Amino acid sequence: MSSMFCFQCEQTAKGEGCTAHGVCGKDPDTSDLQDVLVEVTRGIGQYGHRAAQLGARDPEVDRFVCEALFVTVTNVNFDPDVVAKWVHKAVEVRDRARELYENACRAAGQAPEEVPGPAQFQPGETMDDMLRTAEDIRIDKRLQASGKDIAGLQELILYGLKGMAAYSDHARVLGVEDENVYAYYHEALDYLSGNPQDVDGLVAMTLKTGEVNLRVMELLDEANTGTYGHPEPTQARVTPVKGKAILVSGHDLRDLAMLLEQTEGRGINVYTHSEMLPCLAYPELKKYPHLAGNYGGAWQDQRREFDEFPGPILMTTNCLQKPRPGYRDRIFTTSVVGWPGVAHIDADADGHKDFSPVIDAALSAPGFTEDAEEKTITIGFARNAVVGVADTVVNAVKSGDIRHFFLIGGCDGAKPGRNYYTEFAQQVPDDCVILTLACGKYRFNKLEFGDIGGIPRLLDCGQCNDAYSAIQIAVALSKAFDCGVNDLPLSMILSWFEQKAVCILLTLLHLGIQDMRLGPSLPAFIGPNVLGVLVDTFGLKPIATTQEDLQAILGA
């Protein structure tokens, strides 16, 4: 057996799978423990699904499933001791789910069944026990038993659930949930626990995952905009100002809001990093004058950028890398994020977090000693802002001023080949508009693109969490033109890295979006026959060269 096996992200070793150590920094023990956590969580889903069919549910069980799956998303938690604690908790929750199911059976006057598979999986008490049991449940064994097409489709559904769980958790912390979504987690985990082998059934469940994720992204949009207002076009500063400083990375708006409240009047400037950049456009966040701007770029550059930042860093969600010694004692994690030896900020029973350790670290750090030359970029073109000027956009298309729209968005990463997205954006003709979202935009979002009749040629729609905005913009344009989304002069040029991008792709497939281009490489977990189905059914294409792709799309 390999010491580990993981191929859930785009940067996986040799495009095949990490077998000795994760390219992301995940060690074999953490990888195996995450597999164990997923296996126990499958068992929770088995009981949860059966209980739901009898009309019984438990919010604690529902929420735990999302958190447990979120823990296993790429670049979230690298601490084996912490993951082992999650496994212990999962066993407790599985017992709770079993009791929920058995009580529901008794209330319905029927005998509970002996649920097979992951429901009976025993990970053991010690970490050594867990690591031994992990050897029997690794994906490479299923690959050998079922083949890459079947096992790969099973993993595609699982990775979609993982990404969806992250979005669900972001919405949950802001008080927005849907019990039907939770019911689907249980249904899908129960389905996967049966080791399904039917390709048609697996494809159908894959698309259903995309359908449910559309609802999840709608919930998250409702949570973010309902709490902090609709993003509005904003000039965001991208150079630092003199003073003490805290840098916030990840995706979680509530963590940033709590930190802003606790630093108000303390003489500390707060900066966003990577996917937190769109926070600068939310009215209820940007009202804080000490939310000073954005520092740095995409997640893969954090080790250099964090080393140079003269203050503490708070990691709110995924995208953590191994901290360098230069900032290891001033980086903090929260939520499900973790790294061995890094200080962690927990929430209390009400979800409140005391960021005093982060604030104290900022006050004792030097901060920026002088103002840098002011530079800004324009952000905040989420659905409300763009739909509000839809008539202007439609008229510009009808008059010929705008020829085509390109959505160039998705994850960024360190793997070679991602310069394609910079080159593509630069080569888009001047009569075309670029929509962008997620950290892939850092490849080109500080370049000058100008405007078309007052409409900026680069419209930043927000985080990967804001994919719902981009979808709603496309829907609104299709209604304005009285046509289908696939009939719009719109092409999607997508980059992916981890499981949140996977579930967004599944949503786009569910919506029937055609002719998307995906890169920089295709997922290692998708077998050749499944890829053929995606190509034949949806026209999904790997990226080629910028010249070839632009020629194919524009025909000139």
Spatial separation of the C-alpha atoms in residues 403 and 383, rounded to whole Å? 21
Spatial separation of the C-alpha atoms in residues 218 and 433, rounded to whole Å? 25
Predicted pLDDT at 556:
60
DSSP-derived secondary structure letter, 165? H
Instruction: Locate 167 and state its tokens.
Output: 């979005």
If phi over 0 gives left and psi between -120 and 50 gives alpha, with beta otherwise, what is residue 271? beta
DSSP 29-79: HHHHHHHHHHHHHHHHHHHHHHHHHTT---HHHHHHHHHHHHHTSTTSB--
* Mean pLDDT score of the chain: 96
Spatial separation of the C-alpha atoms in residues 550 and 553, rounded to whole Å? 5
Is 426's pLDDT higher than 60?
Answer: yes
Which residues in 13-31 are b (16+ Cβ under 10 Å) and which e? eeeebbbeebbbebbbbbb
Which residues in 180-199 are b (16+ Cβ under 10 Å) and which e? ebbbbbbbbbbbbbeebeee
Is 555's pLDDT higher than 60?
Answer: yes
Q: Which residues pair with 489 in a beta bridge?
A: none
Structure-derived torsion over alpha carbons of residues 187, 190, 192, 195, reported in degrees to the nearest 10: -140
Spatial separation of the C-alpha atoms in residues 73 and 317, rounded to whole Å? 10
Predicted pLDDT at 414:
86
Chain centroid, CA 383 distance in Å? 19
Residues 235-243, mean pLDDT to the nearest whole number: 98
Predicted pLDDT at 2:
54
Radius of gyration of the chain (CA): 23
Sequence-ordered list of residues with C-beta below 8 angstroms from that of 454, at least 6 positions apart, any chain: 392
Q: How confident is the model at residue 388 (pLDDT cuts 50, 70, 90)?
A: confident
Is 75's pLDDT higher than 90?
Answer: yes
Predicted pLDDT at 390:
86
Kindly state the percentage of the chain with pLDDT values over 70. Answer: 99
Question: Quick one: CA dihedral 546, 552, 553, 556, positive or negative?
Answer: positive
Spatial separation of the C-alpha atoms in residues 463 and 410, rounded to whole Å? 9
Spatial separation of the C-alpha atoms in residues 454 and 452, rounded to whole Å? 5
Kindly state the percentage of the chain with pLDDT values over 90. Answer: 95
Query: Can you list the domains of the chain with their CATH numbers?
Result: 13-226 (1.20.1270.20), 234-364 (3.40.50.2030), 385-554 (3.40.50.2030)
Which residues in 487-519 are b (16+ Cβ under 10 Å) and which e? ebbbbbbbbbbbbbbbbbbbbbbbbebbebbbb
> What are the pLDDT digits (tens) for 259-295?
999 999 999 999 999 999 999 999 999 999 999 999 9
If phi over 0 gives left and psi between -120 and 50 gives alpha, with beta otherwise, what is residue 293? left
Q: Residue written as tokens 């080393």?
A: 307
Predicted pLDDT at 1:
43
Predicted pLDDT at 550:
97
Nearest to 165 by CA among 73, 299, 74: 73
Other C-beta atoms closer than 10 Å to the C-beta of 236 total 21
> What are the pLDDT digits (tens) for 40-67?
999 999 999 999 999 999 999 999 999 9
Sequence-ordered list of residues with C-beta below 8 angstroms from that of 398, at least 6 positions apart, any chain: none
Please state the pTM of the whole predicted model.
0.97
Separation of first and last alpha carbons in the chain: 52
Is 523's pLDDT higher than 70?
Answer: yes
Is 527's pLDDT higher than 70?
Answer: yes
Is 389's pLDDT higher than 90?
Answer: no
